[in-house]
Structure 1
């Protein structure tokens, strides 16, 4: 749908409206062929159900997608889109549904077709039948939901759910109208054609681009003396349609005044460092990275200290860095921030330990339960269900045994602790948006440590409450510390992770915050 041109939308929209016009004429003159197709009489009358439980279920569907229900859904959707700075999309939603409702009412009044005689006499609808308002409005609403999802939402799981749910709801509402005896089949078909025609024509007129806060901000001072060079590092496994993604980035870059992007695809052997180095050596003024937190970490670490800003297009499951920086998860909005946002210097964390080479992280390092979750995630399952794979893995590992660990802050004395999970964070919000480190800031030159030690299964409930409520008290259940350097030393090997990627078991992690080392693009 994203590649459907304005001309194609107008053509298909006009076709739907033409077919609707022909059907309206046939209904108005009571055309014999239509009467036979409508099969008015015993056969269609037999479709109307008199099964009590089924009629009750159909009545619920009727109420859910009646005028009041559709209006409520439209208002909620429009408000959400405005809150996400997608004002053009909100205008499209209101325009399509409003025009469809107005056209439906006008044609109903002009044609004046009576309802079928076989409605339930205890629950009669007496207004005119053609076209079905339920049918036209459900097509209009589901159409704008589908359009905005395709244009603005990146997670493949969400898009698949919408692609499956929208046609099912359209069919369900159409069947509901006939099975309740509210409409003839041609009433429903007419509603479908009207809703689809209005949708396509309006979409051709109002083509919503994704916007972000950068659009409304004052322009930044121009510091470039030549054409601005753009490089894109992308993890192909995280992009559903690479050709479409390439076309979108290229078009938006050109509109924002950037050069034709140079493309660098990550590989299993090189998850991003080599590509970032090649982009910097080639003189890139901006490097956009599209991938998960692991890919973002590799690119940012390679470009640390170079002065080359990094624009983030989140395409992973967690996208923790993007969330903490306020970078939108919507594809076009994230691209807009990357191309037109402002630069912010953030901290990079240098980390090493037993059995691992010196490396870096941007979001967090962990040892114990949280790392066991990362190790236990099935990658194929994660591709299908997204973040739910972490929930499943979490339930499996929920009683991971506690770790005996020693902690040293800023080279001070080692203190002994017991914890099921130990997290060192560079940001405040970690997995599932939990404010595990509420005082952490990504640009303060310090690291924040939290040790969680629920002794039994029931202890997770008060722990979760204290985290969500941001209770400052520290004890054996929730303990927090902060410093520029943090070292961990466990009594036995434990699972470890960096930015959500398992790095294998070990006993030690030594971390040092490198203040303001990386430039990233954030919303203005």
Structure 2
């Protein structure tokens, strides 16, 4: 989500590549002070590794892991993954940086033709050019690319910092590998680092890896009822973004670029998680409302705007982001903003919900549940969730895995109730739930019906065949998995049971009554 001006990477690339150029000249003229320092340092560091020791074996493994063939494989896999994630410019950026570094490294090896340290022959002699280190230049270019990609795609600052630190440690480990094995002089390794990082910085200055706006790359959509004013309102949950000012700046700039007016901003509060803000936007005559927050905020805003004809753009900033995932809205915030501003309007279903236990009439967009899944939501530690995101749900799920089975009754479309036993009952408006689980593979968010699944693993080990059947999208129904579909669904439990809507716990109760309202809401989806 970070925008960097061209000047910052350009200045740092000039410094980095300038130092590399100076070092290259010193190596070519065989400057005595540098040569003496290289030899003395190499003689010292290679004494730390005994031939045949566990350390030598570990270093040799690291050496092969960072070799040319391995590097080619890593590069192809990284570019393919980025392309698959629709981050095509990021994939191009990775290829440009790594291929350029590879070509320049081997050209300089040939031109400088520097001899390798004599001591490296103890382990296995390498006789191609020593300057610059190919391992060091590759790991530096790869680290530089991944540093940029992580900064783009990872929203949680704690996880982002952790990944950045791990990348730096990986580069340091590879450099020490070259020195301890005596493969290179220190100046070779430093030269490789400067070249790789310099290439990443210089390319970043002139090639933006962030996706280009749909408004710049696609023909305008034909609006059935063109908006005369193009008024844009934004409902933001401020605790869900790292820097509110930066987020506002990015969205405002992209909105103006896409032909919208300067946005009107509304902030959610603990007392009002979005309903009042959406109502204000509707009364003010908004042509588009963008909501940025978690599933709870999205649900509140969408429920208020349902039936108004005002499209809702979704910028997912929560942990689950289930609606966004099922609509194929990208989780990378700039891409999500682009879809919200320039995507295709799509009519989707909403689900009206009522129940006992003090539950007021409400709606959901993704799913409702009773039992094990709701116990997971209740058991999530919010402090852990802030630090590690969706892993907090995994920890809660492990604690709740043997939630006791409950006697339930189910009625579909006002038919007589049928009796069952289940550890969890899920009613879904979409097919994919947390962690991409295809629990309701036939569900569609615009088909006018709800999909119901009852899960009843009798023993701990019964979760294994259940998971296999879910992941393989098996259609078989029995006591382990039962499925139903219908426009109206009523679930009654024999005892008070945890309940949840769109991943938010709504307290325990014995009943949920749900009705699908077909095509109730307009949302912005990718073209």
Report TM bin, short chain.
over 0.9
Give me the whole-angstrom Cα distance separating, in 1, the residues matched to 2:338 and 2:202.
27
- Partner residue in 2 for 1:109: 110
Pairing partner for 2:260 from 258, 261, 276: 258
Give me the whole-angstrom Cα distance separating, in 2, the residues matched to 1:327 and 1:225.
23
- Partner residue in 1 for 2:426: 423
Judge conservation of contact 2:49–2:55 (CA < 8 Å) in 1: no
In structure 2, do the counterparts of structure 1 residues 120 and 4 end up closer, same or farther at CA, with 3 Å as the change threshold? Answer: same
Secondary structure, aligned partner of 1:2: coil
Is 1:376 aligned to 2:388, yes or no?
no
TM alignment of 1:65-214, pairs within 5 A: 65-156=66-157, 158-211=159-212
Pairing partner for 1:275 from 270, 274, 277: 277
In structure 2, do the counterparts of structure 1 residues 469 and 298 end up closer, same or farther at CA, with 3 Å as the change threshold? Answer: same
Secondary structure, aligned partner of 1:505: strand
Is 1:31 aligned to 2:31, yes or no?
yes
User: How far 1:42 moved relative to its partner?
Assistant: 4.1
Aligned residues: 524
Give me the whole-angstrom Cα distance separating, in 2, the residues matched to 1:215 and 1:369.
46
Listed one character per residue, the Cα deviations across residues 45-83 of structure 1 (whole Å, up to 9, x for unaligned) are: 435554611011111111111111111111111112222
Judge conservation of contact 1:109–1:128 (CA < 8 Å) in 2: yes
User: How far 1:219 moved relative to its partner?
Assistant: 2.4
In structure 2, do the counterparts of structure 1 residues 49 and 244 end up closer, same or farther at CA, with 3 Å as the change threshold? Answer: farther
Give me the whole-angstrom Cα distance separating, in 2, the residues matched to 1:262 and 1:221.
25
In structure 2, do the counterparts of structure 1 residues 152 and 182 end up closer, same or farther at CA, with 3 Å as the change threshold? Answer: same
- Partner residue in 2 for 1:62: 63
Judge conservation of contact 1:85–1:211 (CA < 8 Å) in 2: no
Runs of 4+ residues deviating >6 angstroms: 212-215
TM alignment of 1:382-461, pairs within 5 A: 382-461=385-464
- Partner residue in 2 for 1:233: 235
User: How far 1:370 moved relative to its partner?
Assistant: 0.7
Judge conservation of contact 2:214–2:338 (CA < 8 Å) in 1: no
Pairing partner for 1:321 from 320, 323, 335: 323
Q: Which moved more, 1:26-35 or 1:5-14?
A: 26-35
- Partner residue in 1 for 2:490: 487
Instruction: Give the gaps of 5 or more residues in structure 1.
Output: none
Secondary structure, aligned partner of 1:329: coil
In structure 2, do the counterparts of structure 1 residues 206 and 515 end up closer, same or farther at CA, with 3 Å as the change threshold? Answer: same
User: How far 1:187 moved relative to its partner?
Assistant: 1.0
User: How far 1:44 moved relative to its partner?
Assistant: 4.3
User: How far 1:31 moved relative to its partner?
Assistant: 1.7
User: How far 1:473 moved relative to its partner?
Assistant: 2.3
- Partner residue in 1 for 2:333: 331
Judge conservation of contact 1:212–1:523 (CA < 8 Å) in 2: no
- Partner residue in 2 for 1:362: 365
Give me the whole-angstrom Cα distance separating, in 2, the residues matched to 1:375 and 1:400.
12
Q: Which moved more, 1:79-88 or 1:67-76?
A: 79-88
Give the TM-score normalised by structure 2.
0.95
Secondary structure, aligned partner of 1:198: helix
Listed one character per residue, the Cα deviations across residues 80-110 of structure 1 (whole Å, up to 9, x for unaligned) are: 2222232222221111111111111122222
User: How far 1:481 moved relative to its partner?
Assistant: 1.2
Alignment root-mean-square deviation, CA:
1.9
Give me the whole-angstrom Cα distance separating, in 2, the residues matched to 1:314 and 1:408.
34
In structure 2, do the counterparts of structure 1 residues 467 and 157 end up closer, same or farther at CA, with 3 Å as the change threshold? Answer: farther
Instruction: Give the gaps of 5 or more residues in structure 2.
Output: none
User: How far 1:225 moved relative to its partner?
Assistant: 4.7
In structure 2, do the counterparts of structure 1 residues 452 and 157 end up closer, same or farther at CA, with 3 Å as the change threshold? Answer: farther
User: How far 1:180 moved relative to its partner?
Assistant: 0.6
Is 1:510 aligned to 2:518, yes or no?
no
User: How far 1:404 moved relative to its partner?
Assistant: 1.1
Give me the whole-angstrom Cα distance separating, in 1, the residues matched to 2:423 and 2:82.
41
In structure 2, do the counterparts of structure 1 residues 175 and 448 end up closer, same or farther at CA, with 3 Å as the change threshold? Answer: same
User: How far 1:216 moved relative to its partner?
Assistant: 5.6
Give me the whole-angstrom Cα distance separating, in 2, the residues matched to 1:73 and 1:104.
18
Secondary structure, aligned partner of 1:30: coil
Judge conservation of contact 2:428–2:440 (CA < 8 Å) in 1: yes
Give me the whole-angstrom Cα distance separating, in 1, the residues matched to 2:312 and 2:508.
31
Judge conservation of contact 2:215–2:258 (CA < 8 Å) in 1: no
- Partner residue in 1 for 2:226: 224
- Partner residue in 2 for 1:284: 286
Secondary structure, aligned partner of 2:368: strand
Give me the whole-angstrom Cα distance separating, in 1, the residues matched to 2:400 and 2:457.
13
Listed one character per residue, the Cα deviations across residues 268-299 of structure 1 (whole Å, up to 9, x for unaligned) are: 11111111111222222111111111111011
User: How far 1:202 moved relative to its partner?
Assistant: 1.1
Listed one character per residue, the Cα deviations across residues 344-374 of structure 1 (whole Å, up to 9, x for unaligned) are: 1111111111121111100111101111111
In structure 2, do the counterparts of structure 1 residues 214 and 454 end up closer, same or farther at CA, with 3 Å as the change threshold? Answer: farther
Q: Which moved more, 1:153-162 or 1:64-73?
A: 153-162
